[in-house]
């Protein structure tokens, strides 16, 4: 047994000496044939449409399951016990950027932005054969809707946030924040692009249509008007889009 251990030790020492004496060029270097790109990832139209489904699934999960987005911490969803415990959502003195309720929402909406950017890049792949240009345009419109919705919500919750318009393959650490006004205007442009193309009514149950885009445009213009001191022209735009919602989806009589 002792001889075996000595034998192993000698072999190990020889390996270490051999490795330390090797030229760096002799080490294995990876040369992958492909890296992730939109062209590599999307070979068919259905793969891009799967990204659309992913956006719906992501939004549905967070809006259904996150208690903060359901109103926890507001007068809509609060209890004295939560406040007195020191751990409840309403104990705002305990909030920080590291608090899960804050961090998770920020990450969730930027994940939605990432999915939207990925979808938009998929629609730009030249080698894909779409059934029709309208089919491609509808996919883009839904991506614009979700990105606009995400930025509107981020602006409401966090103020100015970084603008991200592409799907990054490597980490980036030099983002700078837009102002809250710029964040709202960015959301408005996306929502307008969506509203211009989405159908009046969903072609399939559960999908967004013009009414949803108009609704959030009304909200975005109201938010922007408030940010700029109750700007009258922006308030009129909010009324304009709110009216368009009721023209498509009449109120109860």
What does the mean pLDDT of the chain come to? 84
- Which residues on neighbouring strands pair with residue 162, listed in sequence order? 177
**Average pLDDT estimate for 235-247:** 97
The percentage of residues in the chain with a pLDDT greater than 90, rounded to a whole number, is 57
**Average pLDDT estimate for 205-213:** 95
pLDDT at 103 exceeding the cut of 90: no
Instruction: Name the band, by pLDDT with cuts 50, 70 and 90, for residue 203.
Output: confident
Q: Give the C-alpha separation, 37 to 43, whole Å.
A: 11
| Confidence (pLDDT) at 47 | 92
| Confidence (pLDDT) at 98 | 80
| DSSP 8-class letter at 178 | P
Instruction: Name the band, by pLDDT with cuts 50, 70 and 90, for residue 168.
Output: confident
> pTM of the predicted model, to two decimals?
0.80
Q: Give the C-alpha separation, 50 to 195, whole Å.
A: 21
Helix axis angle for 100-123 and 45-65, nearest 10°, is: 160
Domains along the chain? 37-248 (1.25.40.390)
Stronger pLDDT, 243 or 101, i.e. the higher one:
243
């Amino acid at each position: 047994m002792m001889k075996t251990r000595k034998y192993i030790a000698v072999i190990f020492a020889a390996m270490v000496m051999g490795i330390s004496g090797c030229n760096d060029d002799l080490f294995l270097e990876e040369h992958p044939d492909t890296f992730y790109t939109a062209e590599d990832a999307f070979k068919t139209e259905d793969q891009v449409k799967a990204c659309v489904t992913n956006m719906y699934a992501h939004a549905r999960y967070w809006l259904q399951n996150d208690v903060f987005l359901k109103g926890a911490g507001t007068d809509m969803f609060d209890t004295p016990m939560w406040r007195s415990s020191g751990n409840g959502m309403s104990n705002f003195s305990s909030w920080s950027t590291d608090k899960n309720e804050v961090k998770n929402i920020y990450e969730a909406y930027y994940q939605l932005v990432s999915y939207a950017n990925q979808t938009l890049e998929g629609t730009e792949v030249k080698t894909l054969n779409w059934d029709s240009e309208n089919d491609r345009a509808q996919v883009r419109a839904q991506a614009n809707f979700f990105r606009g919705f995400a930025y509107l919500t981020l602006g409401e919750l966090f103020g100015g946030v970084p603008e991200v318009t592409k799907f990054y393959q490597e980490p980036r650490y030099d983002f700078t924040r837009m102002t809250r006004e710029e964040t709202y205007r960015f959301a408005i442009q996306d929502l307008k692009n969506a509203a211009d193309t989405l159908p009046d009514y969903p072609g399939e149950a559960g999908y967004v249509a013009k009414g949803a885009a108009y609704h959030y445009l009304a909200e975005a213009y109201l938010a922007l008007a408030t940010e700029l001191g109750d700007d009258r022209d922006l308030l009129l735009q909010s009324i304009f889009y709110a009216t368009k919602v009721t023209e498509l989806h009449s109120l109860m009589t």
